[in-house]
Each structure stands twice: as structure tokens, then as C-alpha cells.
Amino acid sequence: MNAAKRLEIFRRLHEDNPEPRTELAYTTPFELLIAVILSAQATDVGVNKATARLFPVANTPQAVLALGVDGLSEYIRTIGLYNSKARNVIETCRLLIERHAGEVPQTREALEALPGVGRKTANVVLNTAFRQLTMAVDTHIFRVSNRTGIAPGKNVLEVERKLLKFVPRDYLLDAHHWLILHGRYVCQARKPRCGSCRIEDLCEYKAKTSDD
Ligand code: SF4
């Protein structure tokens, strides 16, 4: 895909949604970090239901740590893998207090040293909470990047590097949200809705559908 096409794709995505936001509910970097840890292999809607009960009771590392694994599990047991997530969250809270004075660190290295925090989670927190130019590649972004030709790659790291290189600079900060939303609601995994896709004329996918 050439640079002019990429620019026009992001121009349109921006035009349709000038201020894209994550669909995870949060009000502080700590709440976002916890929500993203909980969201692995779970839906944002499911995570939001759990955190809507949890955060009014505990939304600091100290308060969540005080709940303990069993207490936290009571709030998140509707989310897949809640047992291991509860252990990771409690240990993360302990480390945030011990190493970072209860604050969420703003570097990839420090974030990835926390249990349950991998490259993707670190990228989401750095980008969404701290407005750094990172690119979290999830299943939606991986699919959309490959199908359209915006940033084709064999694995998430390759796609991440290409997106960082090829997405026009002015759109890089929010590209992650636009691509997720596009994958979630339009360029869906089983049946892309090419018939009602805003970037259909620019997309290079060979098996486009007429569905809308
Ligand atoms: S035209 Fe189809 S394949 Fe291409 S981005 Fe749109 S929905 Fe996805």
C-alpha cells in the first residue's frame, strides 16, 4: 500500500471519529491498567461490568491489595481466567507500592515487569493513559492491518513495527483506537462488512464481500 492511500484511510477514520476512546471504562491510569489486565481474552463489556462494582470500592493499589486474592475474586469472577488474573492484579498492586510509590510507571520496561502485563498491555497503558506513540496490536488490529495492506505482517510484533513506521505521524497517537473499532464493528473476523466500509475503495483485501 502506498503512503497516499494510508493517509486517506486515516483521514477518513479521523473524520468519522475525531476523538476515539477505548471502550474500557476508567478514570485513572491505575484503573486503566487493571481493566486492561482483566481484559485478556475477555470482552470490554464484561470487564466494565466487573469494574463498575470494583472501582467504587477499591481503585488504588493499596485498596485493591487490601481486598486480597479472595476478596478481589468476588468482583471479577464473571471474567474468564479470573483466578490467575486476581493473583496477577494483587501482585501488581504490591509491586506498584513497593517500587513506584503506588503510581503506574510510564516506561515499557517497568510496566512489563508487572505480573499480567505483557507488551500489548504496556502499549495500551502508555498510549491511552500517558499519550505516548505506542501501538498495541490485538487480534482486531492484526487482522485489519493485514487485510487492508496498511501494515501486513506474519506476527503481532512485525505488524506493530510496520504500523509505527507507516501510519502518518499526525494520526499515530489515535490509530490504535480507530483500527480496533474498525475491526470490531466493520472489518469483522468471519464476515467483513465491506459493503458499508468507509475505506472499501482504498483497502487491498482480495476477498471483499458485498455485505453491509
Ligand atoms: S473493505 Fe472489507 S476487508 Fe477491507 S477494511 Fe473494509 S471491511 Fe475490511
CB 43 within 8 A of CB 201: no
Pocket-testing residue among 5, 146, 203, 209, ligand 1, by greatest number of atoms within 8 A of Cβ? 203
| 9-14-15-16 Cα dihedral, nearest 10 degrees | 90
List Cβ<8 Å contacts ≥24 apart for 109-114.
111/33
Average pLDDT of the residues in 203-212: 91
Tell how far the Cα of 192 is from the centroid of ligand 1, in angstroms. 6
pLDDT at 128 over 90: yes
pLDDT at 41 over 90: no
Average pLDDT of the residues in 63-88: 96
Instruction: Give yes or no: 120 in active site.
Output: yes
**Atom of ligand 1 minimally distant from the CA of 209:** 2
CB 135 within 8 A of CB 175: yes
Average pLDDT of the residues in 97-126: 96
State the catalytic residue, choosing from 16, 138, 165, 174: 138
> Around Cβ 145, how many Cβ atoms within 10 Å?
26
Q: How far is the C-alpha of 172 from the C-alpha of 200, rounded, in Å?
A: 21
0.85 cut: is pTM over it?
yes
Average pLDDT of the residues in 7-32: 96
Tell how far the Cα of 145 is from the centroid of ligand 1, in angstroms. 10
